[in-house]
Amino acid sequence: MQTQTQYTMRRLIFVFITLFFISCGSDDHYSLKGTAFGFADGTKVFLYGIDQNNQSSVKDTLVVQNERFEGSYPKVEDTPLNFLQMEGSNGNIVFFVENENLTALVYKDSLAASHVIGGKQNELYNQYIKESNKLTQEKMTLSAAFRKAQQEQDGIMVEALREESKVLNAKELAFKRSFVVENRNSIFGLMLLSELFSKEELSGAETTEILNDLSPKMASHALATDLKNKIAISKKADIGGMAPEFEAPNPQGKIISLKETLGTYTIIDFWASWCRPCRIENPNVVRVYEKYHDKGLNIISVSLDKEGQQDRWMKAITDDKMDWYHVSNLKFWQDPIARLYNVRSIPSTFLLDSEGRIIDKNLRGPALEQRIAELLD
């Protein structure tokens, strides 16, 4: 016969085992619960993951019901970036996965105000975006006033607004730098530091100083290691250094090396057929080349076109009349030559002397022609 005590003990053991399995299940997963204000039932919510090569792919598709959506996902070892995309809407809602339960607040009438709550990195990211949006609004207001002053031909106001714009830009840069320093021992802080270095808003020396002040844990993080490597590479492709040697196929498949393209002066031109600023700048480069090629100017263009876009690349060369050396690995931003030269945006140029030493960088428009004229006229 089973006593009350035995029954109670068995019941407690059963409850313990049940709770154990439930807790194990919840410990292995994190939840994403969202409120989709203004979105109709049946609206799809696409959850994207971003890999180490900055490539995105759909991880899951959720569906809005009663302005709600929900998903559960296995925990991960790192702190990856994800983003949400609402069906029929432009814009993404970026967030970090920190193995904590997440809450998404998505507004149909304002995706810019939409955000995800949960974890320290998302807290920092949301704080940064909030302050950045305030500065962006100030810049938009200033820009509108500047356009109005130009239309009214108010020269005094135009100059005053120019000075105000310089002050605002300095304020924005100071905010970014201060935010990075204060939050350097965080994933988002490191990501922002990398971005500032890539945009040349922080020098290699300034970036290294911040990296040297990281905690041991963050100093060994892959983001810190990657940034240190980028700084080392940037020094190799900096003014005064010898241009790193490279080779790649031309449109006909022939391998062309940098050393065989060197002239008295040589421009390495990073561009792509899909890059509108590059295509706008190309006529200026063509004019400079036609004027100074006979005096010793050579150009080798490195295209960041994508795999499967060779026809577009070749058509752009013909359409823009770029009658000089061309190479491409058709690997988009993963192009090994672009990485070798730490190219983070295009168009990007490097000017070399006859020995292959870098003597100038990122010359465009009149500045390019003036510099070449100084050297060859």
What does 77-138 look like in DSSP terms, one character per residue?
SS--EEEEEETT----EEEE--SS-EEEEEETT-GGG-EEE-SHHHHHHHHHHHHHHHHHHH
The domains of the chain, with CATH numbers, are 4-115 (2.60.40.10), 122-236 (no CATH), 247-376 (3.40.30.10)
CA trace torsion 46, 47, 48, 49 (10° rounding): -170
Q: pLDDT tens for residues 270-300?
A: 999 999 999 999 999 999 999 999 999 999 9
Does the structure show a pLDDT above 90 at 138? yes
How many CB atoms are closer than 10 A to CB 177? Answer: 17
CA atoms 174, 199, 357, 285: torsion sign = negative
Q: pLDDT tens for residues 336-371?
A: 999 899 888 899 999 999 999 999 999 999 999 999
What is the spatial distance between Cα 101 and Cα 107, in angstroms, rounded to a whole number? 20
How many CB atoms are closer than 10 A to CB 307? Answer: 10
How many CB atoms are closer than 10 A to CB 85? Answer: 18
Q: In this predicted model, which residue has the larger pLDDT, 1 or 56?
A: 56
Nearest one of 36, 136, 121 to 86, comparing CA atoms: 36
What is the spatial distance between Cα 364 and Cα 186, in angstroms, rounded to a whole number? 37
What is the spatial distance between Cα 323 and Cα 290, in angstroms, rounded to a whole number? 9
User: What is the rounded end-to-end Cα distance, in angstroms, of the chain?
Assistant: 110
Q: How many residues make up the chain in this entry?
A: 377
**In which region does residue 194 sit, left (phi positive, over 0), alpha (psi from -120 to 50) or beta (all else)?**
alpha
Tokens of 255: 């391998």
What is the spatial distance between Cα 370 and Cα 288, in angstroms, rounded to a whole number? 10
CA atoms 117, 49, 58, 25: torsion sign = negative
Q: pLDDT tens for residues 92-102?
A: 999 999 999 99
Q: pLDDT tens for residues 13-61?
A: 343 333 333 333 457 899 999 999 999 999 999 999 987 666 789 999 9
Residue 53 confidence (pLDDT): 66
| pTM: predicted TM-score of the whole model, two decimal places | 0.67
Average per-residue pLDDT for the chain: 89
Over residues 113-128, the mean pLDDT reads: 94
Tokens of 230: 């980028």
The residue with tokens 């039932």 is 41
For β-strands 29-37 and 247-249, DSSP reports them as unpaired
pLDDT over 90 for what percent of the chain?
A: 77
